[in-house]
Amino acid sequence: MLRQKPLVMGIVNVTPDSFSDGGCYLEPERAILQAARLVGSGADIIDIGGESTRPGASPVSAEEEMERVLPVVEGVARRLDVRVSIDTQKYEVAREAVRLGASLVNDVSGGSDIRMATLAAETGVTVVLMHMLGTPQTMQLDPTYQDGVVAGVYQALLSRVRAFEECGVSRENIWIDPGIGFGKTVPHNLELLAHLSRFTDLGSRIVIGTSRKSFLARVLENPDLPIAKRESATIATNLYAYTRGASVFRVHRVAGFRRALKLWTACEAYE
């Protein structure tokens, strides 16, 4: 199977309440230092976010989000040789981040604000369109899909891709993310991973984000498994996703996955 070169997206959350590292990198210099560590471990992209999207998280204003992320975006873009992604649902935040050096907009709302498409068309930045059922406040209350999760997510993403293309965004600049954990049950997440190849025709790359999520602990029948001890499960799901067509992997820790991926691809070379 011919696959695209895998890219690793290292996560830097500039938030007080993200589920894994909330409060760790609120100061810009600490966030930039963490980005440097991730780059040193092999990250191809640094994804900077200033609003938690964990289940039940409260939204923040565009002004507060920009205060959190823009100094970090500017510092990473200026100091590090790495591609910068802004993780935001807000057009205003994305616009300013792109102005300061971000070349990728990671939109968990799937581009619900169509101005994101205009921004991508005018600047040539790449956009990640992710699927989320509802909002962070409602998405895990009772997620259901009338025609099944794979068909439901596919149709929703197809609609967003077409809307962005109609605004002039090229397919090469559209990546898609099925939104593991965003309005999905544990079986939904596993079914999406098993059928990722269904999504390969939607965008130029498939992004996957399983890192440290609670469904991993549930699958392992250990719901109290500490977040920091979910790394091996993260690596396992990412390698599986790689075999199903994913080529961008959003992770909190880069080095372990990089080593596992190197060994995996070395074995594949002899198939």
DSSP code string of 127-165: EEEE--SS-TTTTTSS---TT-HHHHHHHHHHHHHHHHH
Whole-angstrom distance, CA of residue 271 vs CA of residue 267: 7
Predicted pLDDT at 21: 67
Tell me the residue range of the domain where 49 lies: 7-268
Whole-angstrom distance, CA of residue 262 vs CA of residue 75: 30
Pairing of strands 205-208, 104-107: unpaired
Within-domain flag for 32: yes
The upper half-sphere exposure of residue 192, i.e. CA atoms within 13 Å in the direction of its Cβ, equals 29
Within-domain flag for 157: yes
| Tokens 């709302």 sit on residue | 109
Handedness of CA 168, 169, 171, 176 (dihedral sign): negative
Whole-angstrom distance, CA of residue 100 vs CA of residue 73: 7
Rg from Cα positions in the chain: 17
Predicted pLDDT at 136: 81
Within-domain flag for 1: no
Which residues are registered as beta bridge partners of 208?
A: 249
Predicted pLDDT at 19: 63
Residues 6+ apart with CB under 8 A from 257: 8, 234, 235, 238, 249, 251
Amino acid at 76: V
Residue 206: Cβ within 10 Å count: 25
Q: What are the backbone dihedrals phi and psi of residue 216, each rounded to the nearest 5 degrees, phi first? A: -60, -45
Residue 119: Cβ within 10 Å count: 21
CATH, residue 161: 3.20.20.20
Predicted pLDDT at 255: 97
> What does each of the 271 residues of the chain score in pLDDT, given as a tens digit?
467 899 999 999 998 866 666 667 778 999 999 999 999 999 999 999 999 888 877 889 999 999 999 999 999 999 999 999 999 999 999 999 999 999 999 999 999 999 999 999 999 999 999 999 988 888 788 899 999 999 999 999 999 999 999 999 999 999 999 999 999 999 999 999 999 999 999 999 999 999 999 999 999 999 999 998 999 999 999 999 999 999 999 999 999 999 999 999 999 999 8
Whole-angstrom distance, CA of residue 181 vs CA of residue 220: 16
Within-domain flag for 122: yes
| Tokens 């873009």 sit on residue | 77
What is the reported pTM?
Answer: 0.94
Within-domain flag for 41: yes
Within-domain flag for 172: yes
Predicted pLDDT at 134: 81
Within-domain flag for 2: no
Within-domain flag for 249: yes
Predicted pLDDT at 195: 98
Residue 47: Cβ within 10 Å count: 26
219: left (phi over 0), alpha (psi -120 to 50) or beta: alpha
Which residues participate in catalysis according to the annotation?
A: 213, 250
CB 145, CB 60: distance < 8 Å: no
Estimate to the nearest angstrom the gap between the alpha carbon of 101 and the chain centroid. Answer: 18
The number of domains in the chain is 1
Predicted pLDDT at 109: 95
How would you label 246-258 residue by residue, b for 16+ Cβ within 10 Å and e otherwise? bbbbbbbbbbebb
